[in-house]
Amino acid sequence: MDRHKLCCATQMSFCVLLALLLCGFTSSASAESINYEIYALHRSGDELLAKGTLTYMPRDVQVVERVSSKHGRFWDKSVRVWEDFSIGASVYREQSLCGFGLWIQKGVGGFSWDWFTQESGNTYRKLQGGGRVRVVLAPSKAYEELVAIEFLDNVTLRFRESLFFGDTHHIVVHKGSVLRLAP
């Protein structure tokens, strides 16, 4: 084999190897999507602020570690959906995950908490307003920890700018959306 053909063959082998490596890396950190609508609630009617699909990677998940005397160490994990609106969950390591809360964050204030209780297996139902999700848990014999939440129905998450007033915003997360909290 002449020198030119050997060089081309070596370059082609390198390109094939690089492509295989890149495919391997992207499959372990694949993109997820959240299809959403965000509403401002007014006495005169609801105002659609934004509608779309957020495609995000695990590196886009914001993680804040917290410690409490009651729960020990836990993590608030969220994804920014639009402008200053994020959706997330507080993730605890528990022996048995009988329920969990999802929340909306808007800027630095307000209140949001929608509780999901176990219906059967890895399927959970929203207590107020309805809707079902399926969870993926971290593989561990010592504890259960949320890794991902797949929306089986359209689910409305509620936000209040003040504890003293009713809901001021809703985010409707559409069926098929996935909130991935860990790779």
User: pLDDT tens-digit profile of 7-26?
Assistant: 444 444 444 333 333 344 33
Task: State the total domains in the chain.
Answer: 2
Between CA 130 and CA 143 the distance in angstroms is 27
pLDDT digits (tens, 9 = 90+) for 84-137: 999 999 999 999 999 999 999 999 889 999 999 999 999 999 999 999 999 999
Do 113 and 56 lie in a common domain? yes
Do 167 and 77 lie in a common domain? yes
Do 80 and 123 lie in a common domain? yes
Do 128 and 55 lie in a common domain? yes
Dmax over CA atoms of the chain, in Å, equals 82
Other Cβ atoms within 10 Å of 104 Cβ, number: 23
Do 41 and 117 lie in a common domain? yes
Percent of the chain with pLDDT strictly greater than 70: 84
Do 92 and 22 lie in a common domain? no
> Is residue 79 within 8 Å of 86, Cβ to Cβ?
yes
Do 79 and 11 lie in a common domain? no
Q: 126 in the Ramachandran plot: left (φ > 0), alpha (ψ -120 to 50) or beta?
A: beta
Do 76 and 9 lie in a common domain? no
* Continuous H helices in the chain: 3-28
Do 44 and 25 lie in a common domain? no
Residue at 130: amino acid letter: G
Do 127 and 145 lie in a common domain? yes
Do 149 and 137 lie in a common domain? yes
- Boundaries of domain holding 11: 1-30
